[in-house]
């Protein structure tokens, strides 16, 4: 299963640069380039429509007006910080030529990467960024798959009446983690989380099975 990487920048030339850079990345990384929307909420909605596995955004999204003819009211750090409030730990990366300014805009310095990495002649240095994206994306998807498998196991124990109080709490924690980690495309419907009867639990187990198939 391929990993979908979204790249967000206001310049078409930067789209082309990033696409060319990612040609050397692992074959199961697929890039989709987007122009930023003028409003941050509209941009987040557009991201969700794409169902990405990771997001890479330019820092200064309102810097150039060559390919967009509207103002963009946010920068890349603000966009990805807002996105992570909905999906904690989602693989997000900001590329910039103004790393000092970008670092001042975030509490997470690991979010910021220098854009010059894309054009380094040394292949070992050049590969560091896409290898980082690949590693974090694999780790994030793996954590979701593991949580889904464990949730299914605990739900089955609950049906059988053999679940402990500690496992009940773990089930709640896993449900909360998956609620925050999965986008609306993959999310378990809210009504299925009313675990007041065995029918709902059995339906939820089937839904988790479907999710596991999508991520494997």
Whether 143 has a pLDDT exceeding 70, the answer reads yes
Rounded Cα distance between 53 and 77, Å, is: 18
Q: Residue 72: which region, alpha, beta or left (left: phi > 0; alpha: psi -120 to 50)?
A: beta
Q: Tokens representing 179?
A: 């609620």
Q: Using one digit for the tens of pLDDT, what is the confidence trace for 5-63?
A: 999 999 999 999 999 999 989 899 999 999 999 999 999 999 999 999 999 999 999 88
Query: Is a pLDDT exceeding 70 seen at residue 195?
Result: no
Domain ranges for the chain, please list them.
Answer: 3-119, 142-215
Question: Does the domain formed by 3-119 have CATH 3.40.50.2300?
Answer: yes
Measured in residues, the chain has a length of 216
Structure confidence at residue 210 (pLDDT): 67
Cite the beta strand spans of 14-144 per DSSP E. Answer: 29-34, 54-58, 92-96, 112-114
Tell how far CA 74 is from the center of its chain. Answer: 19
Task: Name the residue with higher pLDDT: 210 or 130.
Answer: 130
C-beta of residue 119 within 8 angstroms of C-beta of residue 125: no
Q: 0.85 cut: is pTM over it?
A: no
Kindly report, residue by residue over 75-133, the tens digit of the pLDDT.
999 999 999 988 888 999 999 876 555 555 566 657 788 888 888 777 777 788 899 99
CA distance 141 to 127: 21
Of 178, 175, 172, 5, the residue nearest 89 (C-alpha): 178
| pLDDT over threshold 60, residue 189 | no
Question: Cα Rg for the chain, rounded, in angstroms?
Answer: 20
């Amino acid at each position: 299963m391929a990993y979908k990487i979204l790249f967000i920048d206001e310049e078409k030339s930067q789209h082309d640069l990033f696409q060319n850079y990612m040609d050397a990345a692992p074959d199961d990384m697929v890039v989709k380039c987007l122009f930023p929307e003028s409003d941050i909420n509209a941009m987040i909605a557009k991201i969700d429509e794409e169902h990405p596995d990771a997001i890479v955004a330019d820092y200064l999204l309102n810097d150039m007006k060559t390919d967009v003819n509207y103002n963009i009211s946010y920068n890349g750090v603000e966009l990805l910080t807002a996105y992570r409030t909905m999906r904690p730990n989602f693989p997000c990366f900001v590329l910039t030529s103004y790393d000092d300014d970008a670092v001042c805009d975030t509490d997470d310095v690991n979010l910021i990467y220098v854009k010059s990495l894309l054009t380094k002649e040394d292949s070992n240095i050049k590969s560091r960024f896409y290898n980082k994206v690949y590693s974090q994306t694999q780790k994030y998807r793996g954590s979701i798959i593991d949580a889904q498998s464990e949730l299914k196991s605990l739900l089955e124990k609950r049906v059988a009446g053999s679940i402990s109080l500690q496992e009940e709490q773990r089930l709640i924690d896993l449900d909360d983690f998956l609620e925050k980690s999965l986008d609306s495309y993959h999310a378990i419907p809210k009504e299925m989380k009313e675990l007041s009867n065995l029918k709902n639990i059995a339906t939820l187990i089937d839904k988790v099975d479907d999710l596991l198939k999508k991520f494997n």
